[in-house]
Amino acid sequence: INAEYGGVPLRRVDQAYVIATSTKVELPALPDSLTDSLFKRKAKPTKNEKEMFVENTTEEPKISAEKIALQKEVDALVVPAVKSVDMLQSYLRSRFTLTKGQFPHEMKF
């Protein structure tokens, strides 16, 4: 997902949450640093019995400067490619909804 259109930072999305379309966008070569290891979560340390009842004093995770720079680099490649496809920009920004009797597997996008 791209922050420009999805409103979230660069992240991997499970295929169960994606609706496939026939729209194709030609993208230039993406950065080599964009790998599966970038999206893996860090393992949480296990707590022993004494630590279980102590208040959690850990800080919220911070977004690294490397990820911020990678986000800007990917945005610079994706946004012009999306703008080159007619009406795709407004389609990606619109909210997807279904009404009664509409089934996504029967639709053609």
More confident residue, 32 or 7: 32
Task: Report residue 93's pLDDT band, with 50, 70 and 90 as the boundaries.
Answer: confident
What three-state secondary structure class fits 35? coil
| pLDDT at residue 8 greater than cutoff 70 | no
Q: Which pLDDT score is estimated for 2?
A: 59
Strands (E), 1-109: none
Distance CA 73, CA 70 (A): 5
pTM over 0.75: no
| pLDDT at residue 83 greater than cutoff 70 | yes
Least confident of 37-41, 91-95, 105-109: 105-109
- Interior angle at CA 78, CA 109 and CA 33, nearest 5: 120
